[in-house]
A and B are shown apart, each in its own frame.
Chain A
């Protein structure tokens, strides 16, 4: 497996993690009104979207990289 393929797999796992952290943060906020948990959830959600955009662009741009 090349670094390119490993990087794509890593980004996919990171996107899944951002989803998990978002759900965790929202649940913590609803259960204990934790402001820091809500902030973590927000950053994770934004980060997840950013990773989807980045992953898509990375995959398209580097498809032809030797």
Chain B
């Protein structure tokens, strides 16, 4: 059987093994996707003086919640900040799971990767609470351009978190069998999953201040 080259060891000219080259190409396309959305947000916000203003009829409907008449004041900063802390902690647990494999401690890998999955679940629960609060006040993407951007960007980010959760869950569960047969290749898989997870966390690190604080 022909063995696929550079599956485990790095290719001399690029210094990368196949999966790492693949994930960086994928992440480059992701930068373009989120970059386009961030650009749209900046252009809309700077180009339209009423972009952040809540229309009168919606402000009336919101009652006490609409006192400030500014969309960003409708967002729950403490809850989003809690989510930020959860994601930062999950990046630490993710890298620790990879380090555990490097040190050949599979038990600790299971612990750290399990914690990463729990953090991703926690993020989604908090996000669901946040979305539910919006929907219960009849605030939908159609309510205004700011909310359309808010739901698009945070929703797309949440989809990425779900994707990461599925991959990490697989690598924690059935996919972990590879450790017995091809430990180096499995360690590389965790590194690649970790790179993706860090990218998802980094997107949130930019989303949080630009949507909630500014």
Contacts and interface: CB of A to CB of B under 8 A. Distances in A.
Given A10-B198, A17-B208, A17-B209, A39 B99 contact: no
B4 to A, nearest CB: 21
B120 to A, nearest CB: 16
A39 B194 CA distance: 31
Given A14-B205, A20-B213, A65-B99, A7 B84 contact: no
A16 to B, nearest CB: 9
Interface stretch (B32-40, B88-96, B140-148, B158-166): B88-96
B198 A36 contact: no
Contacts of A7: 91, 95, 194, 198
Contacts, number: 57
A30 to B, nearest CB: 15
A43 B85 contact: yes
Interface in A1-36: 1-4, 6-7, 10, 13-14, 17, 20-21, 24, 36
30 contacts: A1-B24, A1-B195, A2-B191, A3-B191, A3-B194, A6-B195, A7-B91, A7-B194, A10-B198, A10-B201, A10-B202, A10-B205, A14-B88, A14-B205, A17-B205, A17-B208, A24-B209, A36-B77, A36-B78, A40-B77, A40-B78, A43-B81, A43-B85, A47-B85, A47-B88, A54-B92, A58-B95, A62-B99, A65-B102, A66-B102
Interface of A: 1-4, 6-7, 10, 13-14, 17, 20-21, 24, 36-37, 39-40, 43-44, 47, 51, 54, 58, 62, 65-66
